[in-house]
């Protein structure tokens, strides 16, 4: 990529009359959906003609779409039923380039435009292939075949971490030369203002407590059961420790049962998805991610940007990439309870310390402003 100033990139996009469609399956509370909104808001603000299309336009991120963004809700209940609606809408919009935020919409777009060389398709790959690799052999083969078929049409793939790119190559999903690594555009320009908002959480506001935070979808991938089981013995030794898990998802009832069975209700709580999670990040004493795999790890960036120490599993995906192999946070092997417990205690007791300003500086390498410009340069080069 040729380095250009941000203004030159934007000016070039306007001069070339770039017309973008950003497609997302929904506006649910996931990282990919928020990235679709972030990009649409940024490009619209900068004067690049942009349309945001949601296959199912409901979800918490709907309220974060700028009023200036041209937003289209196809109002289709399932992605698989949306082929005709997407095709029809894109024919009306006549974009020069389409950016797909997530694998589900990429599959649909690859099928729709398999015999059409226009518009240019840029697929954002948000995760490693772990979920597909865990499928039973017949289903795994079908999934890989469908991915190869859809991704054959893509002009470019943007992988959000080197491990995501490597997995696409390992499973021979697409031509490796098509794949570019660009991290996620995570931080909005006003995140510090949002982080300074007051918060009514009694644990966060109690200076005598040490609060550990986990943020993410309540899902097997995020492995919050392991986090709760690892935290339990620590809480029983240190009555001032607390764990807040912030998020929603299919594992919620199982996690609540686990908390109850381990008699940890006074020490662990699950807080529903928050439109503004930033005060939690800023006021927590430690952020812990125990995922089994990650495409990137937006939540790590968010914690760093607030100056909060991070411990993460060294799983496949983005954590080691963001933390530069331990320079900006502690990494532990996945599912290693003893290693995780030791790191938590060492950080809480001050035996491991961090330079807060360095953490904030690292987090700010992943602003929407900086990363959206890199996306746009790749779009221009496509």
Delimit the domains of the chain by residue range.
6-185+367-380, 191-365
- Above 80 in pLDDT, residue 373? yes
pLDDT tens-digit map of 307-318: 999 999 999 999
Distances (CA, A) of 136 to 125, 133, 291, 293: 22, 8, 22, 19
pLDDT band at 356 (very low <50, low <70, confident <90, very high): very high
The top-level CATH class assigned to 6-185+367-380 is alpha beta
Do the beta carbons of residue 243 and residue 235 sit within 8 Å? yes
Mean per-residue pLDDT for 331-360?
A: 97
Q: What is the pLDDT of residue 1?
A: 44
pLDDT band at 81 (very low <50, low <70, confident <90, very high): confident
Please give the span between the terminal C-alpha atoms of the chain, in angstroms, as a whole number: 11
- Above 50 in pLDDT, residue 257? yes
Q: What is the pLDDT of residue 95?
A: 97
Do the beta carbons of residue 294 and residue 318 sit within 8 Å? yes
Mean per-residue pLDDT for 59-86?
A: 90
Q: What is the pLDDT of residue 3?
A: 57
- Above 90 in pLDDT, residue 31? no
Is 191-365 in the same CATH topology as 6-185+367-380?
A: yes
- Above 60 in pLDDT, residue 253? yes
How far is residue 370's CA from residue 158's CA, in Å, rounded to a whole number? Answer: 15
* CATH number for region 191-365: 3.40.50.2000
Mean per-residue pLDDT for 244-248?
A: 96
DSSP secondary structure letters along 160-201? SSHHHHHHHHHTT-S-GGGEEE-----B-TTHHHHHTS----
pLDDT band at 192 (very low <50, low <70, confident <90, very high): very high
pLDDT tens-digit map of 204-224: 999 999 999 999 999 999 999
Do the beta carbons of residue 350 and residue 298 sit within 8 Å? no
Q: What is the pLDDT of residue 4?
A: 63
Mean per-residue pLDDT for 64-80?
A: 90
Mean pLDDT, rounded, of the chain: 94
Q: What is the pLDDT of residue 177?
A: 92
3-state helix/strand/coil string of 48-67: CEEEEEEEECCCHHHHHCCC
pLDDT tens-digit map of 321-343: 999 999 999 999 999 999 999 99
Mean per-residue pLDDT for 114-120?
A: 85
pLDDT band at 114 (very low <50, low <70, confident <90, very high): confident
Query: Could you tell me which residues come within 8 angstroms of residue 236 by beta carbon, excluding any fewer than 6 positions away?
Result: none
CA 50 distance to own-chain centroid: 21
């Amino acid at each position: 990529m040729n380095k250009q100033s941000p203004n030159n990139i934007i000016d070039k996009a306007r001069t070339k009359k770039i017309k973008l469609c950003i497609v997302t399956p929904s506006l649910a509370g996931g990282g990919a959906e928020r990235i679709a909104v972030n990009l649409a808001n940024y490009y619209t603000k900068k004067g690049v003609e942009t349309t945001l299309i949601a296959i199912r336009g409901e979800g918490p991120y709907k309220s974060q779409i700028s009023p200036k963004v041209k937003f289209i809700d196809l109002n289709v209940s399932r992605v698989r039923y949306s082929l005709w609606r997407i095709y029809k809408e894109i024919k009306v919009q006549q974009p020069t380039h389409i950016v797909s935020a997530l694998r589900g919409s990429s599959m649909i777009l690859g099928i729709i435009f398999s015999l059409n060389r226009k518009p240019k398709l840029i697929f954002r790959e948000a995760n490693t292939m772990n979920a597909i690799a865990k499928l039973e052999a017949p289903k795994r083969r079908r999934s890989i075949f469908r991915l190869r078929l859809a991704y054959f049409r893509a002009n470019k793939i943007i992988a959000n971490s080197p491990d995501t790119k490597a997995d696409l190559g390992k499973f021979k999903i697409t031509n490796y030369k098509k794949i570019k690594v660009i991290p996620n555009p995570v931080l909005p320009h006003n995140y510090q203002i949002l982080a300074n908002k007051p918060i009514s959480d009694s644990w966060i506001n109690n200076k005598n407590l040490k609060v550990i935070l986990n943020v993410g979808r309540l899902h097997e991938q995020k492995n919050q059961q392991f986090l709760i089981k690892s935290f339990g013995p620590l809480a029983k030794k240190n009555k001032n420790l607390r764990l807040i898990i912030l998020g929603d998802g299919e594992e919620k009832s199982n996690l609540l049962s686990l908390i109850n069975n381990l008699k940890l209700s006074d020490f662990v709580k699950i807080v529903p998805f928050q439109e503004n999670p930033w005060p939690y990040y800023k006021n927590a004493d430690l952020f812990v991610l125990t995922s089994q795999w990650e495409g990137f790890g937006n939540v790590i960036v968010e914690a760093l940007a607030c100056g909060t120490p991070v411990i993460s599993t060294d799983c496949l995906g983005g954590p080691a990439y963001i933390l530069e192999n331990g320079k900006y946070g502690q990494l532990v092997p996945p599912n290693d309870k003893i290693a995780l417990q030791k790191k938590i205690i060492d950080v809480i007791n001050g035996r491991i310390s961090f330079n807060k300003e360095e953490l904030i500086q690292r987090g700010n390498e992943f602003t929407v402003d900086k990363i959206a410009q890199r996306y746009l340069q790749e779009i221009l080069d496509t």
